Amino acid sequence: MIEFIDTHVHFIDQKDPNLRFSWLEPEFVHPRLGDIDDMKHLTWKPEGLKAEARFTGLTKVVNVQAALDSEDPVAETAFLQAAADRTGWPNGIVAYVDLAADDAAEQLDRHMAYANLRGIRDFGRRPDGDFFADDAWRRGAALLPERSLVLDIDVQAVDMAKARDAADALGDVTFILEHAAVPMERTDGFFEIWSDALDLLAGAPNTYIKVSGLGMGDPEWTVDSLRPWVHRCFDAFGIERCLFGTNWPVDRLYSGYRDVVEAYASITADLTEAERRRFFVGTAEELYRI
């Protein structure tokens, strides 16, 4: 059993009248994943994760923004902090802020009232990545370092040049690329395109990569099918800039929690003990301050 931190989970409470998870509503069809009805639960809280992960070595958890279209995004942070106060998880919270908004600083400071806030995710509901060049968005992102917050980004290979430009322009901001750039194709040709995109972003020293959610592009994955994609992340960013995450409960559509953990334990078996510790624990502790 390995000790590890899960840097990408989504706790859910659709019973809370202050929260809305529009992507989990009955009629919604996910633009990347299609039919996700099997995970559209009313609630999924730390107690559920503790049950699923109790024999895996999971010690700490980072929750990444999942509520969409809530009237007040700070309500999600309040829900998560209450869960942490009750159960000990999540240890870190990555919240939503509209970084391009005139009141971005005010939004950030309202989230900051909650002790476990550690980062922000704002993909702006703009999938083309053009928001990275938006001066207003960049001004908002520049507010994060003074608050000791990191920036989680959800970017695919096609838009990686835009993300790299933003990382270069905002050198004091820590960018954490989620889900290994979401490689939804698993062909040799796409592997090359995706690899080049990783190398491009990794050239900015203030960038990190979260190796998570790989089941989304490979629903019938095996250890061998995941291995080259995981190792390529290590090659591009160096083990010191890679973090482990599961993307639970989304990736529950494709496997069990213990299956994922054991797969990564196998894939990283050739690393040194120090390298494994860095990937599974150290970088997460450092970036998310947990």
Q: Give the pLDDT of residue 27.
A: 86
Does the pTM surpass 0.95? The reply is: yes
Q: What is the pLDDT of residue 20?
A: 96
Residue-wise pLDDT tens digits, 128-155: 678 999 999 999 999 999 999 999 999 9
Given a contact cutoff of 8 angstroms between Cβ atoms, the answer to whether 168 and 138 are in contact is no
Which of 4, 5, 3, 2 has its CA nearest to residue 288? 5
Are the CB atoms for 38 and 241 separated by under 8 Å? no
Report residues of the chain scoring pLDDT below 70: 123-128
Query: Residue 208 class from Cβ within 10 Å (0-12 exposed, 13-18 middle, 19+ buried)?
Result: buried
Burial of 204 (0-12, 13-18, 19+ CB in 10 A): middle
pLDDT at site 29: 86
**Which DSSP symbol is given to 30?**
B
What's the topology of domain 4-288? Answer: TIM Barrel (3.20.20)
User: What pLDDT is recorded for position 36?
Assistant: 87
- Provide the 8-state DSSP code for 158: G
Encoded tokens for 59 = 């010690």
Instruction: Report the amino acid identity of residue 288.
Output: Y
**How many CB atoms are closer than 10 A to CB 264?**
25
Residues β-bridged to residue 120: 95, 151
**How far is 32 from 35, CA to CA, in rounded Å?**
9
The Cα–Cα gap between 83 and 62 comes to 12
The C-alpha angle 136, 139, 144, rounded to 5 degrees, equals 135
pLDDT tens for 183-194 read 999 999 999 999
Compute CA distances 98 → 126, 173, 177, 225, 243, whole Å. Answer: 12, 16, 18, 37, 25
Contact 180, 191 (CB under 8 A): no
The three-class DSSP label of residue 43 is strand
Q: Could you tell me the two tokens for 11?
A: 């706790």
97-127 pLDDT, tens digit each:
999 999 999 999 999 999 999 999 986 555 5
For residue 25, the SS3 value is coil
Tell me which DSSP letter residue 154 carries: -
Give the per-residue pLDDT at 290. 98
Would you state the structure tokens that stand for residue 113, as one six-digit string? 């009232």
If residue 168 lies in a helix (H) or strand (E), which one and from where to where? helix 160-169
- Residue 126 pLDDT: 59
Delimit the domains of the chain by residue range.
4-288
Q: What is the per-residue pLDDT for 3? A: 97
Contact 223, 263 (CB under 8 A): yes
